Amino acid sequence: MALDGIVLSNILWELKQNILGGKIDKIYQPESEEIVILIRHKGQPFRLLLTAHPNHPRIHLTTQSKDNPLSAPMFCMFLRKHLIGYRIVDIVQPSFERIIKVIVEGFNELGDLCSKELIIEIMGRHSNVILIDENKKILDSIKRVTQEVSSVRQILPGYIYSLPPSQDKQNPLEVRADACFTFIDKKPNLPIQKAIYQTYSGISPMVATEICFRAKVDGTILVSQLEAQQKQQLTHHFMMIMAQVQSNQFQPHLIQEDNGKMFEFSSILMTQFVDKQITHLQNISETIEIFYSKRDLQTRLQQKTVDLKKNIQTNLERCFKKKNLQLQQLQDIKNREQWRIEGELLTANIYQIIPGSSSVTLLNYYEETQPEITIALDPTLTPAQNAQSYFSKYNKAKRTFIALTSQLKQVDDEIKYLETILNAIQSATHENDIEQIREELQEEGYAKRKIKNNKKKKSVKGKPLRFLSSDGFEIWVGKNNYQNDELTMKTAHTTDLWFHTKDIPGSHVIIKTRQQEVPNKTVLEASHIAAYYSKARDSSNVPVDYTLCKYVKKPNGAKPGFVIYDHNKTVYVTPEESLIEQLMVNK
């Protein structure tokens, strides 16, 4: 994560350009650790996002609007009381640290002009949003830090605010070129890359690596082993980057993998990533928003699916345990036909058997060679009773086999169904998809309904994923069983093509043919999509069946997402994420 002092300096400059002098109009708290402030400036509305999330703490302008809780959290109400109507008079970044202070002025309840500071500290799991008054007294914070949490620095109402403990780092904006290595040389046994970011505040490991890369110096060389010319080159590029920051010559951009996956972002050009894609954007807020939008969604989805995954895993373990017991029972009755034969042999030779015998040897005329067979007997039973005992044992085993065969099919069907739920959770791209899955599990009896009132909550339907093939054909993908049923049985036309991984849990995929012949390239692309949105996403040579939708049927009483089909063809593909990203429409 590259949200260092340089990026924050870029954000600071952007905030000053847009909201300095603006008036705070509204405040929301859509998430427990996230604040959104609506600001009006020169007739323009702006949204300022501050989040103290331990994984993605940040501050920037945003264009996204989120659903807010029906009743505002206490901290949100507190901020509304103290900040609404106030004007932003200054925004500062103390000592080039990962801290931003938004200084506001306004009139309190008594009509007196007063000043307050809204501070965001970006420090990983110690990140916080803090409101203080003009006397530096803490009014409140989004996270209260008690003595039990930190013995060094408490963040509680009534306490005097102080900056986080200094790590004896220098402000890189204040250092002169001739003194650049004065502080670095104090760490002779550290690699130069590490020494740079441990000496100067606001410098991330990525920026330190960039300085070394531009200077053509190996970042792993110890400070004590550097030559004078290498120090000169490092100082030159260090000062060049700092000059860019001081003159606000920022170049916000995204750094992506070849498959389009987000890798990093920066406010200064990263020349070290020669094998990555660089996408330049107009401002740093847009850059950060694009970078984090997908990560934030994934985090929220993971949080909302923890209980679902645990529920499914518990039920799967129960099914596998049940299946193992049934297979063991089948193993125990595998000799049932032999028991019938032994019963018939005893009946046919009943007068040759001496009462009270513990065994008898007879010819087995059920085999061509008629070998001798020794049959165990219960000496307390008559020969007829012994024969009947074998028939009873056979008949019981026969009934057990019929019952177990049916039960095994039910267990296998249940395992397949539960695995489709796990695949649906993996394919979810929106919180509505998760709610649909939760609703389905409640309908099928795997989860309890939470009854809060008599009014039935209207379920919100998620939308299927949409792709566009290289030949211009629409491809639709269901993300859960409800969407699969809707897509296949209602949305699709009989002449559309239907795809599904062969005997593998996965999504239903439809090519909207528009009653035209579908090129082989589109068929192959749809097969890749079907394989990717299945349990075999990370496998190779995945079999994918496809057929016309008119050959796909849903049996009466079948679970959601279950269908049968015929007249199908099979292709084998290895799913590629880069192709999926390339074809996706609603990213």
In the structure, what pLDDT confidence band is assigned to residue 452 with cuts at 50, 70 and 90?
A: low
Q: Pull the structure tokens for residue 420.
A: 């489709």
Q: Is 317 exposed, middle or buried (0-12, 13-18, 19+ CB in 10 A)?
A: exposed
What are 461-501's pLDDT values in tens digits?
A: 678 999 999 999 999 999 999 999 999 999 999 999 999 99
Shared fold status for 5-141 and 177-285 = no
What are 212-265's pLDDT values in tens digits?
A: 999 999 999 999 999 999 999 999 999 999 999 999 999 999 998 876 678 899
Helix (H) or strand (E) holding 189: none
- The CA-atom distances, in angstroms, between 252 and each of 120, 222, 265, 524 are 21, 31, 7, 38
What are the backbone angles phi and psi of residue 314, rounded to the nearest 5°? Answer: -65, -45
Closest of 148, 320, 124, 100 to residue 204, by C-alpha = 124
What are 362-390's pLDDT values in tens digits?
A: 999 888 889 999 999 999 999 999 999 99
pLDDT at 450: 67
Which 8-state DSSP code applies to residue 563? Answer: -
Q: Pull the structure tokens for residue 225.
A: 């082993």
Q: Pull the structure tokens for residue 71.
A: 């009743």
pLDDT at 451: 58
Instruction: Answer whether residue 104 shows pLDDT above 80.
Output: yes
Instruction: Answer whether residue 2 shows pLDDT above 90.
Output: no
Secondary structure of 566-582 as H, E, C letters: CCCEEEEECCCHHHHHH
Q: Pull the structure tokens for residue 17.
A: 């350009």
pLDDT at 260: 66
Average pLDDT, the chain: 92
Residue given tokens 């938004």 in the structure block: 102
Residue 78 to residue 118: CA distance in whole angstroms: 12
Judge whether 323 and 330 are in contact, CB under 8 Å: no
Q: Which architecture does CATH list for 177-285? A: Orthogonal Bundle (1.10)
Which 8-state DSSP code applies to residue 251? Answer: -
**Which residues, 6+ apart, have CB-to-CB distance to 112 below 8 Å?**
none
* C-alpha 373: how far from chain center: 64
Helix (H) or strand (E) holding 547: strand 542-548
Residue 57 to residue 2: CA distance in whole angstroms: 11
pLDDT at 245: 96
Q: Pull the structure tokens for residue 73.
A: 């959290």
pLDDT at 447: 86
Instruction: Answer whether residue 417 shows pLDDT above 60.
Output: yes
Residue 167 to residue 96: CA distance in whole angstroms: 13
The CATH number for 5-141, chosen from 2.60.40.3670, 3.40.50.300, 3.30.56.10, 2.30.310.10, is: 2.30.310.10
Name residue 115's beta-bridge partners.
Answer: 105
Instruction: Answer whether residue 453 shows pLDDT above 70.
Output: no
Domain-by-domain residue ranges, the chain? 5-141, 177-285, 305-450, 465-583
What are 491-545's pLDDT values in tens digits?
A: 999 999 999 999 999 999 999 999 999 999 999 999 999 999 999 999 999 999 9
Phi-psi region of 260 (alpha: psi -120 to 50; beta: other; left: phi over 0): left
